[in-house]
């Protein structure tokens, strides 16, 4: 897979801590960041679409039932916020 380069700005203490964590885990800083993105569920568009396809394939709800359930959950979440 082709990787893109990224420039970020970190405080010096945070950068040192990140470098130390990478060394302790025998990983690169890029690997630590990639694992963190996975942990927080940050996905590419293709990965997200694959996840939706998989969920739809295993769902017992019709599209209409799923939409009603989703709308109900969104409304409940907004009321609770």
Domain count, the chain: 2
Q: Are residues 53 and 38 in the same domain?
A: no
C-alpha–C-alpha distance, residues 67 and 44, integer Å: 23
* CA angle at 21 for the pair 6 and 9, rounded to the nearest 5°: 30
Q: Which domain holds residue 4?
A: 1-42
Identify the H or E element spanning 41: none
Q: Are residues 5 and 37 in the same domain?
A: yes
pLDDT at 3 over 90: no
Average pLDDT over residues 6-29: 96
pLDDT at 73 over 90: yes
Q: Are residues 37 and 48 in the same domain?
A: no
pLDDT at 14 over 90: yes
Helix runs in the chain, H state only: 12-24, 29-39, 45-58, 63-80
């Amino acid at each position: 897979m082709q990787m893109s380069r990224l420039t970020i700005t970190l405080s010096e203490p945070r950068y040192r801590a990140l470098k130390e964590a990478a060394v302790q885990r025998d990983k690169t800083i890029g690997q630590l960041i990639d694992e963190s993105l996975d942990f927080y569920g940050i996905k590419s568009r293709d990965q997200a679409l694959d996840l939706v396809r998989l969920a739809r394939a295993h769902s017992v709800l019709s599209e209409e039932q799923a939409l009603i359930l989703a709308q109900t959950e969104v409304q409940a979440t907004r009321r609770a916020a």
